[in-house]
């Protein structure tokens, strides 16, 4: 039999490796930003076009590379970070595998310009699909500039799997946030399609968080600081009242590297137990510093997962540290309702000198001696004499009721009243067409058996079709607010609202102004409570970030789905009879009453035969 195993060509092997490292434009952004940080840059500029599909460029003022290093940087497994296998457990840098630039060059057009400070001129290299097109001497400032154009140009199948520009931009922003938060001592700027999205100057950690997520974030942060032999924890957690339905602002950094860890996330949730409502997610920005030998960061291609030697100890320390901070800053609720917070001893004043309190005592006070004031008080509580009983009835003559008026207003129960009573019972029985079960289901009798309706899903279908009609016809009814409603959002969230502004106005929203971090609303759709507006927009932004399609009709459809999901009556809400019947009647007036907008059943029927079988 002929030999069938053969070595892959280099360009095919590079494309396969690129599939592990480069999954989308955000992957390229992450690798290039980390290379700039490893080069000890103090200023990093990120420029993208079309969410990174057309252009990704990272410019830094780092150390730069020599001509030989610039050429070798595009070879597979070429790195300056490690020399032996033991170095993998003493890592203090971001990139160490030597795959990033080689993988990117295999599936894009790459242009590199770099110069070291001691050199007079730099090097420019142009690569297309792992093939070096040119290598020249060029005049360029100190540092490195890497431009990645036409991502996946030679793998159209991979390019077709990319999401819309809105979704891909969200992933790019997420990666930018992760790198920028981990390095507040570096000045970052971010330009998207020619406009500046972020300008983050050198600052402390708290200010970096505020610069990214908006000025309103400052009042939400609770500092966390703990130093042990195992780990040093520094950062912030969000106050319980600002917990969100989504997992947006949750960041773990281990040795200045962003990681994902469901185990450590559970430690945070357990620390917030009893302080946030079920299903809510607290915000946190925590930096963990550990011994590099106690972790393994080489277990995942994207290096976002880390294996710890002693996870249980880390879990306990993290949980207790967050709990301590929440208690220290009076976030945890106080059970003593007569508690005086002014008597609490601050943690910073534990070693301070306590002054002896001064007490003044009246030495002449005798509790058994009756004072004149007490005598006066006793005399004022004397009961009236029974001899003047007739004075109690003074003034009642004018209020006497005549017998004629008495009999005119009196009704005597007879046959007519009795018959009306039975009529009322009959009408009550007719009115009981629907019943609410466990404040979740609406049960109604039909000829074939029972109809059981999920009130949340049914109302979701009703609202969805109403919003879809308003968006399509563009005739949403608005109710004006007495005072403008101000909602603080981050810069990317405001950009999403700007994109959806026209469609939101068709549903009934009226915006008076939209700035970088603040939107002001003057009107809301009819029957939408003012307290629900921020929740609706938060849910809408989350839905759009995760699945907004390109087609305008699909965007309108998603908007209607999101608003219907936010405004539908929830399970556990009691309904009156007319409200129950309204849902039943409106549901079966819908075009597709059987399912919700997300294709989940709105009702089920239980036949009489099925009920009879239960009693056999």
The label of the residue with tokens 């008597």 reads 343
Q: What is the CATH number of domain 10-200?
A: 3.30.565.10
The pLDDT value given to residue 95: 55
| Residue 2 confidence (pLDDT) above 70 | no
- Tens digit of pLDDT for each residue in 200-239? 999 999 999 999 988 888 888 999 999 988 889 999 999 9
Distances (CA, A) of 68 to 71, 75, 114: 5, 11, 11
pTM, rounded to two decimals: 0.66
- Cβ(223)–Cβ(327) below 8 Å: no
Range(s) within the chain of domains with CATH label 3.30.1370.100: 449-603
- The CA–CA distances, whole Å, from 575 to 301, 594, 603 equal 52, 21, 17
Q: Which residues contact 523 (CB under 8 A, 6 or more apart)?
A: 478, 479, 480, 481, 508, 509, 510
Q: Please, where in the chain does CATH 3.30.565.10 lie?
A: 10-200
How confident is the model at residue 371, as a pLDDT? 57
Rounded Cα–Cα distance for residues 237 and 489 (Å): 18
Parallel, antiparallel, or unpaired for β 284-289 and 232-238?
antiparallel
pLDDT at res. 421: 38
**Average pLDDT over every residue of 70-95:** 63
pLDDT in tens, 534-583: 877 887 787 777 664 444 445 677 778 877 888 888 888 888 888 888 89
- pLDDT, average across residues 73-97: 59
- Identify the CATH number of the domain defined by range 205-328: 3.30.230.10
Q: Say whether pLDDT at 378 is over 50.
A: no
Fold of 449-603: Ribosomal Protein S8; Chain: A, domain 1 (3.30.1370)
179 pLDDT above the threshold of 60: yes
Dihedrals phi, psi of 132, to nearest 5 degrees:
-75, 120
Model confidence band, residue 478 (pLDDT cutoffs 50, 70, 90)? confident
Domain with CATH 3.30.230.10 in the chain: 205-328
CA 455-460-461 angle, to 5 degrees, is 105
Supply the angle between the helices 165-182 and 205-213 in degrees, to the nearest 10: 170
Q: Give 10-68 pLDDT, tens digit per residue.
A: 666 666 655 566 888 998 999 899 889 988 899 999 999 999 999 999 999 998 898 88
| Spatial separation of the C-alpha atoms in residues 504 and 551, rounded to whole Å | 17
């Amino acid at each position: 039999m002929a030999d069938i195993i053969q070595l892959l060509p280099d360009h095919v092997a590079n494309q396969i490796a690129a599939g592990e490292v480069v999954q989308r434009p955000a992957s390229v952004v992450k690798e290039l930003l980390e290379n700039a940080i490893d080069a000890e840059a103090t200023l990093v500029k990120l420029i993208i076009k079309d969410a990174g599909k057309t252009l990704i460029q990272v410019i830094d003022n780092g150390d730069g590379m020599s001509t030989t290093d610039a050429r070798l940087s595009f070879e597979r497994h070429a790195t300056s970070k490690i020399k032996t296998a033991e170095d993998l457990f003493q890592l203090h840098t971001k990139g160490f595998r030597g795959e990033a630039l080689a993988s990117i060059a295999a599936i894009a057009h790459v242009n590199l310009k770099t110069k070291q400070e001691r050199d007079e001129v730099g090097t420019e290299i142009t690569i297309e699909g792992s093939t070096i097109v040119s290598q020249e001497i060029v005049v360029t400032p100190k540092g490195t500039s890497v431009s990645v154009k036409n991502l996946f140009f030679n793998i159209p199948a991979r390019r077709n799997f990319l999401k819309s520009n809105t979704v891909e931009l969200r992933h790019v922003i997420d990666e930018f946030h992760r790198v920028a938060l981990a390095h507040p001592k570096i000045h970052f700027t971010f330009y998207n399609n020619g406009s500046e999205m972020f300008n983050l100057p050198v600052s402390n950690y708290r200010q970096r968080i505020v610069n990214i997520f908006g000025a309103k974030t400052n009042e939400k942060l609770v500092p966390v600081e703990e130093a042990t032999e195992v780990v040093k924890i520094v950062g912030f957690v969000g106050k319980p009242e600002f917990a969100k339905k989504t997992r947006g602002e949750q960041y773990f950094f281990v040795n200045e590297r962003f990681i994902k860890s469901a185990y450590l996330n559970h430690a945070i949730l357990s620390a917030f137990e009893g302080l946030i409502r079920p299903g809510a997610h607290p915000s946190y920005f925590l930096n963990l510093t550990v011994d590099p030998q106690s972790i393994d960061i080489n277990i995942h291609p994207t290096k976002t997962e880390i294996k710890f030697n002693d996870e249980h100890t880390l879990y306990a320390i993290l949980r207790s540290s967050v709990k301590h901070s929440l208690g220290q800053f009076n976030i945890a609720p106080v059970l003593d309702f007569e508690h005086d917070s002014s008597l609490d001893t601050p943690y910073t004043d534990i070693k301070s000198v306590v002054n002896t309190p001064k007490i003044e005592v009246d030495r002449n006070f005798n509790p058994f001696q009756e004072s004149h004031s007490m005598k006066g008080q006793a005399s004022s509580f004397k009961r009236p004499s029974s001899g003047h009983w007739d004075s109690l009835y003074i003034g009642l003559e004018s209020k006497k009721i005549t017998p004629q008026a008495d009999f005119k207003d009196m009704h005597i129960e007879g046959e007519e009243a009795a018959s009306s009573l039975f009529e009322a019972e009959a009408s009550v029985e007719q009115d009981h067409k629907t019943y609410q079960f466990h404040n979740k289901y609406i049960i109604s009798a039909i000829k074939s058996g029972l109809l059981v309706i999920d009130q949340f899903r049914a109302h979701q279908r009703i609202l969805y079709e109403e919003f879809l009609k308003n968006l399509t016809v563009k005739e949403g009814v608005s109710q004006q607010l007495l005072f403008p409603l101000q909602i603080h959002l981050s810069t990317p969230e405001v950009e999403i609202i700007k994109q959806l502004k026209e469609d939101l106005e068709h549903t009934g929203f009226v915006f008076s102004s939209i700035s970088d971090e603040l939107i002001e609303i003057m009107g809301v759709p009819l029957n939408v409570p003012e307290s629900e507006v921020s929740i609706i927009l938060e849910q809408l932004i989350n839905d759009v970030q995760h699945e907004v399609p390109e087609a305008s009709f699909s965007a309108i459809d998603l908007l209607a789905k999101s608003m219907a999901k936010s405004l539908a009556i929830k399970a556990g809400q009691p309904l009156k009879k007319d409200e129950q019947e309204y849902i039943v009647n409106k549901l079966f007036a819908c075009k597709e009453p059987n399912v919700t907008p997300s294709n989940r059943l709105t009702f089920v029927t239980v036949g009489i035969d099925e009920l009879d079988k239960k009693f056999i």
